[in-house]
A and B are shown apart, each in its own frame.
Chain A
Amino acid sequence: MNPRRPRRGRPGGRLALMGLLWLFLAMGGGWAEDEGTPYGPEGTVCREPVFLQLGRPAEPHPDVQGLQSRLQDLGLYDGPLDGLFGPETAQAVRRFQQTAGLPPSGMVDPATWTALADGVVLPVAAQPTEAPPGPLSIVIDVNERTLTLYSAGQPYKSYPVAVGTSRTPSPVGEWLIVHKDSGWGDGFGTRWLGLNVPWGIYGIHGTNKPWSIGTQASQGCIRMFNRDVEELYRWVPLRTPVRIVGPTPDLAFNRTLQPGATGADVVQVQLRLKELGFDLGYADGRYGPQTEAAVRELQRFYGLPEDGRVYEDIYYVLGLKRAP
């Protein structure tokens, strides 16, 4: 026997292994799929800067804009709400720190965030407060900035949320809650509900910036008041479906998609296929066997070359690309 000859496994075994891997990834897998990063606050794309200070971050940042807005409400800042941490903002932070009994460093640190949040008057909590009875699902409307909990297909309770900015949009699509955790701290508030988004660690979480709720402020995650996310955390089990609806992201749609592909473009293809009545399960950004079968059906219906892949004409007939 040639020892260098590669071993050839049984195809059935390979398929089974691939199937298990697919299932693992589809469930979130406990890891971020893109880089193999361990699951946790360090790996999430929604990680917010803990410290803000003069010139940092260098670019306009929604957290700085939120800070400016908060300081304005407190009567400590009357500069522009431009998201840039300039001298005026730093001076306003110093003034706030003095009134809060903190060292007037002009730098926003965890203690300053906490103090800023302390004075925020939250809106009255919505009703009901009893646990919902039926199978649960969640719809997050990016335009309305609301999270609605459904029980047995009926709206049960709505909560205000903060969503991603236009540069860091929340992931539109159909997800599952695959991770529940607490104690991530700082910008993640008191609870974390992780979603199985394949291109990064996104989730629904609490916040230390309650003034941002109702705005486009996050890096793509869904922020809630800590009080609300704690309630939701108690009620929703793992595998609860979460549908995020919002505007079509500004994508080029210029790559050929085939089984194994992941991404926001895959989500858009899946959503359009579902609108046309093709059944493919969740629009979860993973180009799996159901998506491939649906694309084949579409190709057959439209009389296009049938290969189960999304090529240029498919983007056109789905309305994702338009002629100039």
Chain B
Amino acid sequence: MARISTNGRQGRALLAGLGLLVLMGLGVALWLARAGPTVRVGEVTIDPRAPINPERTYRLILWEENVVLSGAGTTYRTFLEDRVEAFREVHPNVTVEFQLLPPGEAVNRLEGALASGQPPDVYGSLSPRLFDRNYQVPVDAFLPRARDGEPHFLPAAWEALTADGQVWGWPRWIRFITWAGRRSLLAGTGLDVDQAAQEGWTFPQALASLAQAGGGQMPGLLVHPQEPELVRSLMAAGGHGLMLQEGSLAWSQDAIEEVAAFLVAARQQTRMPRNLEAAARERVARFLQGRVGVITPVRPELAAHLLRTVPREELVLLPPPRPEGRPFHVPADLAAYLVFRQTPYQGDDQTRLAMELARFLIQSKDAWVSSQFPAVPALLSDQALWQREAPWPEATSQALLRWAEAAVTPSLDPDEAAVLRQMDDQVLAPWLARLWDEEAPSAWAAGLYQALLDQVPEPGG
């Protein structure tokens, strides 16, 4: 009995212990569910749900790369001042000190600040990168859960900012590099312009149409003959990416030759002027005067100017053409707000507030900025506002949304960006200058391919 009695006590104690363990487990689970995951940035662990103290005075530093707004009736500085003031109305205990950085200086300034551990809290970038894992804070843990599991952002924009399973910035918009055409001059050339704008067009379609543009009485196409973007965008449209893939050359010699053959044929068949250099300096003038069918490459800032100055029924924005039989790809760039911590660390509430500022800045009014370019706002809830503000017809909005699904965006790797810049200046631009009088695109392609290989390795090489 005594044994039985002892066993009974032990059993009860065991049960009580198990119960206690279960209770503790539940407590921990509840606490974890309430606290949520933390974010590790360098030597700092950040609680994304840290409360913001309404009694404390905060100071946030915002740096932005200047957005060139052409003919928009306001400057980007004025726009940003208004946005910052609107944020302050919501958070009266926060001071935001912002600097608009001149283009060309901005990234150097940021990299210098990162080297000293003093980056801004928020950085508005037109070419977002994962600059420094010790300071750049991933944003996905700060994103409120979406109802019904619907995404908040354009999937292409969100993915473009994703590396190693984390998202490294708040996406603002995706912008596109285009070919700008005059509808009246492309009419009667056999090209369904609206379909080409929606679905893209092929090299043979482009050559056939541009050869007939303006009744064959004017240049069908004018290019900037040394602009690396010209080749890069055609390669991207052909599905060959933006030259590099994980540090290796993503272009094949055959793919380069395909693009070279197209450009040489366009040179011969579309009545490009003899002196391409001189003509490149009057591409915009000729286009605005209706003296050329299509110009390219058209960067977003130039497209913004055309959108303001060419009648909306006349201007048609086309994606770069692609070789026949290839899937639809559109080269694009991305804008995002990046969030950083500093040394010494300013606290989880400061980081949370920086995230709040970035989230505030990407909302609503930012859709107005994206409507100034051939661009799509990344925040899905702002697409209706964007469509209302846009200076183009509804069909163009639909085309741009289609392009966004097929967007090819740059890598987040800052080293890769540096290599690309170097390749542009030292390889692509000088090689392009030699292309236009080439009789044999294959020889040119072989030469360019070898020159590229001299700078970056082949995949797996």
Give me the interface of A with B, judged by CB distance under 8 Å. 275-279, 297-298, 300-305, 311-313, 316-317, 319, 321-324
CB–CB B69/A305 < 8 A: no
Question: Beyond A276-B69, A278-B103, is A311–B281 a contact (Cβ under 8 Å)?
Answer: yes
- Chain A residues contacting B305 (CB-CB under 8 Å) are 302, 316-317, 319
CB–CB A303/B103 < 8 A: no
CB–CB A323/B102 < 8 A: no
- Chain A residues contacting B70 (CB-CB under 8 Å) are 276, 317, 319
CB–CB B227/A303 < 8 A: yes
Does B402 touch A at the CB level, under 8 Å?
A: no
14 contacts between A and B (CB under 8 A): A275-B75, A276-B66, A277-B66, A277-B76, A297-B103, A300-B104, A301-B103, A303-B297, A304-B224, A305-B280, A313-B281, A316-B285, A317-B70, A317-B302
Shortest beta-carbon distance, A297 to chain B, in Å?
Answer: 5
- Chain A residues contacting B77 (CB-CB under 8 Å) are 277
CB–CB A321/B102 < 8 A: no
Does B411 touch A at the CB level, under 8 Å?
A: no
- Chain A residues contacting B365 (CB-CB under 8 Å) are none
CB–CB A316/B284 < 8 A: yes
Does B322 touch A at the CB level, under 8 Å?
A: no
| Alpha-carbon distance A322/B287, docked complex (angstroms) | 11
CB–CB B285/A305 < 8 A: no
| Alpha-carbon distance A316/B285, docked complex (angstroms) | 7
- Chain B residues contacting A301 (CB-CB under 8 Å) are 68, 103, 299, 301
Cβ-closest 7 pairs across A and B: A277-B66, A323-B288, A303-B299, A313-B284, A279-B102, A311-B281, A302-B302
| Alpha-carbon distance A322/B284, docked complex (angstroms) | 10
From B71, B102, B277, B289, A319 is in contact (CB under 8 Å) with B71
Does B198 touch A at the CB level, under 8 Å?
A: no
| Alpha-carbon distance A291/B332, docked complex (angstroms) | 30
- Chain B residues contacting A305 (CB-CB under 8 Å) are 224, 226, 277, 280-281
- Chain B residues contacting A275 (CB-CB under 8 Å) are 75
- Chain B residues contacting A323 (CB-CB under 8 Å) are 285, 288-290, 309
| Known A305-B224, A319-B70; further 7 A-B contacts with Cβ < 8 A | A277-B67, A277-B100, A278-B102, A298-B68, A301-B301, A304-B280, A316-B285
| Alpha-carbon distance A321/B282, docked complex (angstroms) | 12
| Alpha-carbon distance A261/B369, docked complex (angstroms) | 35
CB–CB B229/A303 < 8 A: yes
CB–CB A276/B68 < 8 A: yes
| Alpha-carbon distance A145/B66, docked complex (angstroms) | 33
Does B298 touch A at the CB level, under 8 Å?
A: yes
| Alpha-carbon distance A323/B315, docked complex (angstroms) | 14
Does B283 touch A at the CB level, under 8 Å?
A: yes
| Alpha-carbon distance A312/B284, docked complex (angstroms) | 8
- Chain A residues contacting B102 (CB-CB under 8 Å) are 277-279, 297
Find the residue from B224, B277, B283, B284 having the highest chain A CB count within 10 A: B284
- Chain A residues contacting B302 (CB-CB under 8 Å) are 302-304, 317
Find the residue from B75, B102, B281 having the highest chain A CB count within 10 A: B281
Shortest beta-carbon distance, B426 to chain A, in Å?
Answer: 15
- Chain B residues contacting A319 (CB-CB under 8 Å) are 70-71, 305
| Alpha-carbon distance A66/B307, docked complex (angstroms) | 47
Shortest beta-carbon distance, A252 to chain B, in Å?
Answer: 14
Q: Which of B102-135 contact A (CB under 8 A)?
A: 102-104
B104 closest partner in A (C-beta): A297
Question: Beyond A275-B75, A323-B289, is A317–B281 a contact (Cβ under 8 Å)?
Answer: no
CB–CB B284/A304 < 8 A: yes
B103 closest partner in A (C-beta): A297
Q: Which of B52-111 contact A (CB under 8 A)?
A: 66-71, 75-77, 100, 102-104
| Alpha-carbon distance A27/B288, docked complex (angstroms) | 40
| Alpha-carbon distance A316/B102, docked complex (angstroms) | 22
| Alpha-carbon distance A300/B103, docked complex (angstroms) | 10
| Alpha-carbon distance A324/B288, docked complex (angstroms) | 9
CB–CB B103/A313 < 8 A: no
- Chain B residues contacting A321 (CB-CB under 8 Å) are 285
| Alpha-carbon distance A311/B280, docked complex (angstroms) | 10
Shortest beta-carbon distance, A226 to chain B, in Å?
Answer: 38
Find the residue from B75, B280, B285 having the highest chain A CB count within 10 A: B285
- Chain B residues contacting A316 (CB-CB under 8 Å) are 284-285, 288, 305
